[in-house]
Structure formats: structure tokens, C-alpha cells
Structure 1
């Protein structure tokens, strides 16, 4: 598997020190710890409402000693930044093509010899939305790995890893439970996501 910033010796140590220092000075509290049973897992990244979410997520990942990969729209992987984005753990996604992204992602998790946490923002976009995409759920179900409910709460400057969620296959019930966990958290642009449809 391609080496990333999280698996590059010395570089990862330096960036972890920087991340811990920056987040502490900025007043953020980092919570949780990745258990051995989640070394291979799918991480929900929510709420996703701002471009700032990516650098913040990377710093939190360094702080927690994660080995994350994340999916982003293909356009941000074009020259001259494509190599950098891949080194940062990015996997390009071409939304204009009908590809079996779920199964290929699940297979990558199954085949990984090292720990791998695939970060997936369920909104699929930082634009205003009230519907979550279910790709993260199907990837975890197919790969037979747990879902880690990672969160970023800008209102209270809290971020980290919440509880593990084992998908049961009952997607309606499971999505309702997952979204209930995220309801208290606020993204940087809090009005960009509404959990409940208007009355």
C-alpha cells in the first residue's frame, strides 16, 4: 500500500508533535482511543461543513496515532497537487463515473496488511444537505469491520473517536442510531446540515 504522511518515519513524528501543540494552544480537547478491534475500520467524519475539516481531521488523526485514508473528489488530485493529496492519505473519487466504489474500498480494507482506517464523510459534500449517503455503511458491512463514530464539534472545540458501531444489516435502524449520536455536534458552518426534515 502507498506510503502516506502517517507512515513516513520522522515526518509522522514531527507532524504529531505539531498537531498536539497546535490543538492544545487552540483550545481543542481530543477524546477517545482506537482499540485493537478497530485497527481496520471505517471512520465517519462528521459533521463535514467546511474546507477546514480536512486539516483539522489530519491533525486529530496524528494526535490519536491513526493510519487513515480518506476519499475526496477527483478534482483536488489534479496536478500539481495530486501527489501531495495522495501522500496525505487521499483516495480520488470520480463522482461522474459509475464504479463499484463500495466493493473496491471494502476490498482494500480486507487486503491491507497494516492498520487502515478509511475516513468517509457521510454528507458526501460540505454544501448544505440533510441527507446522509450510506456508502460508509455498506463499505463497513462488506469489509466486515466496525464503524468508528469520529466527531468534530466546533461549538465546544471537541474532537475524537466516539463508540464503535457494528452494522447489523438493518440499514434504517442503524442509520437512525448513528445520526442520533451525531445530533448534538456542530460543524464549523453549523447551518450546513439539518438532521431532521422540516415540519
Structure 2
């Protein structure tokens, strides 16, 4: 699967990697942005398999129903019921605390639509689980995914978010007007 995905990602799609995921860390949160198109999912899945990385993700529960739900589960996804008022952050922190190895990819926007502010769940998950955040771009302009070094959130949320946002400056989503 790794060889096929690498071929598809680099030769067929024409994408590349800049930087790499941390090899020495078994637990971290990956934030992938900008998330402006359904195509982001396929780029991310091919990247995951091309890198041979064990990465999980969450998605709205409706994606996991019907004839294609098994594909999302097979690729490391877990459904989330966004209509219920549950404490998803605490539930995911518990997963991190109960697993020896766990990497979770999230979109900080939480949607493909344009948002004024990123969601903060990824930040509180990382803080609660005491794991770093790795930033990854979905840059359709340069056709690349660029990875940051692991970043451990501090107690200064404003400073941390300014740092996150600066990493994504100049990055172009599939639909740039949505980022």
C-alpha cells in the first residue's frame, strides 16, 4: 500500500512533502489546513499511506453511514456525533492517555466552509494529553504538504495561535477564498 500510495501522491497527483513527521514521537496531534475541499481528504489519505504513518482522524458521523462508511473506518476514521453536547475533548484525551501510540489529525477550521476563527479543540486535546501539535499544510498552490517541528502548547493561548497562524501564511487551499 505504501508504494502504491507514494506513486499516486508524487507521480499521479504531483504532490511532494516538505519536512517530515516526527519519527521519535508516538503521540501527537496533527492540524491540517487549510481544509477547503472534499479533495483534502484524499490527499491526506494518500499522504498517510505514502509515509507509512499510523494516523487517525475524526469526522461527522454521517460520513460513516451508508455504503461507503467502511472506507472511512478502514482509513483510520472514527465518527463523531456533532449534534450531541458531549465533551469530545475529554474523550479524546482519554484515548491518548490509554494508548501507547496515537496520532490524531484534525482540521483546525472544523469545516470546509470559511470561518472567522479556528476551533480550539485540537489545542485543548494536546494540552490535556500533554502531547505536541504538528502542523501540516494542504497547499494546493505548491502541491505540497509541509510539516512543522512538534510544538508543545504553552499557557499563552494567544501566542500559540499566532504561531500556528503564521505557519500557514501564504498557503493556498483548493478554494483559496475559503481560507
In structure 2, C-alpha distance between the alignment counterparts of 1:38 and 1:85, rounded to whole Å:
25
Moved more, 76-85 or 149-158: 76-85
Deviation at 1:81, TM superposition (A): 2.6
Q: Secondary structure at the match of 1:126?
A: coil
In structure 1, C-alpha distance between the alignment counterparts of 2:46 and 2:84, rounded to whole Å:
31
Report the counterpart of residue 120 of structure 2 in structure 1: 134
The Cα offsets for residues 116-159 of structure 1, whole Å up to 9 and x where unpaired, read as: 21001010000122210010000000000000011111001111
Report the counterpart of residue 71 of structure 2 in structure 1: 84
Report the counterpart of residue 10 of structure 2 in structure 1: 24
Residue ranges of structure 2 left out of the alignment (5+ in a row)? none
Cα RMSD, aligned residues only: 1.3
Structure 1 contact 146–164 (Cα < 8 Å) conserved: yes
The Cα offsets for residues 79-108 of structure 1, whole Å up to 9 and x where unpaired, read as: 333333111111111111111100111111
Tell me the TM-score normalized by structure 2: 0.94
Structure 1 contact 69–90 (Cα < 8 Å) conserved: yes
Tell me the TM-score normalized by structure 1: 0.85
Structure 1 contact 72–90 (Cα < 8 Å) conserved: yes
In structure 1, C-alpha distance between the alignment counterparts of 2:59 and 2:26, rounded to whole Å:
22
Structure 1 contact 60–160 (Cα < 8 Å) conserved: no
Residue ranges of structure 1 left out of the alignment (5+ in a row)? 1-13, 194-199
